[in-house]
Chain A
C-alpha cells in the first residue's frame, strides 16, 4: 500500500468550476506536505506547500491541512483548461535535511471548455 494515498484518481471539471483533490499520509512521522503539478510530458512543478494546521490560499488555489489525520486537500476554483494536468501530493519529514519526498500516484484533472 502506498504511504501517500490520493483521491480521486481522475477528475473532470467544467471550465470555471471547482476541483477538489485529497491526499492522506499513512506515515505518522511526516510533518510537511507538498502539492506539485505535472503537465503531460513535463517535469513536476511545486504549486503549494503546507505544514501548519488550517488553510493557505494563493490565487485560485487553496490548500487545507489536518495534522491529526495527516490529510491535506487542494482546491482549484475557477478552473481553466491550462489546469489540466497530473496533481501530485508529496510528504516529507525533517527540516533542512536532504530527504526525498514520498509521492502519491496523483490525481489527473481534466478541465473541459
Chain B
C-alpha cells in the first residue's frame, strides 16, 4: 500500500484558474514538504511543515499556499495558474527528533500541465 498518497496523479488546468494538490502520508512522520520538478531545473524545495506549522518557505510567489488540516496532511493551493507552473509536484515527509539526520521520503507526484 502506498504510504504517501498524492492526488490527482495528473492535472490539466487553464491559465488563470486555481487548483489544489492533495498529499497525505501514513508513515507516522512529523514533517512534510512540497517540491517541484520541471524540465531543465533541479528538484526545487518549496515549503516544509511540522505539526501543522510552517517551518521553511523558499517560494517567492504568494500564489502558492500550503494548507495543513491534520498532522499527516499537507495540500498545496495554487492560484492564478501560469504555463510556467507546469511541473511535477512532489510531496515528501520525514521523521524528525531521532539521533540521525532525517531521510525525506517522496510521494508519487502530481503532474500539472497549465494550458
Q: How many residues of B contact A (CB 8 A)?
A: 31
The residue from B42, B46, B101 contacting A4, defined by CB atoms under 8 A apart? B42
Those of B34-50 within 8 Å (CB) of chain A: 35, 40-50
Stretch with Cβ within 8 A of B (4 or more), from A11-19, A41-49, A60-68, A69-77: A41-49
What is the bound-complex CA distance between A96 and B40, given in angstroms?
31
Contact check, B104 vs A103: say whether CB atoms are below 8 A apart: no
- The A interface is mostly helix, strand or loop, or mixed, namely loop
The residue from B43, B55, B103 contacting A98, defined by CB atoms under 8 A apart? B55
Question: Chain A interface: which size bin?
Answer: 20 to 34
| CB proximity of A16 to chain B, nearest CB, Å | 30
Contacts A100-B33, A100-B46, A101-B45 hold; do A51 and B106 have CB atoms under 8 A apart? Answer: no
Stretch with Cβ within 8 A of A (4 or more), from B14-22, B65-73, B79-87, B91-99: B91-99
What is the bound-complex CA distance between A2 and B104, given in angstroms?
21
* Chain B residues engaging chain A, CB cutoff 8 angstroms: 31, 33, 35, 40-50, 55-56, 58, 90, 94, 96-98, 101-109
Listed A/B pairs (16) with beta-carbon separation below 8 Å: A32-B101, A34-B103, A43-B90, A43-B107, A46-B103, A46-B104, A90-B43, A95-B101, A96-B102, A97-B96, A98-B33, A98-B49, A100-B46, A101-B43, A101-B104, A105-B40
Further pairs besides A2-B42, A95-B101, A101-B104: 12, Cβ < 8 Å:
A4-B42, A34-B103, A51-B101, A90-B43, A96-B98, A96-B102, A98-B50, A98-B55, A99-B56, A100-B46, A100-B56, A103-B45
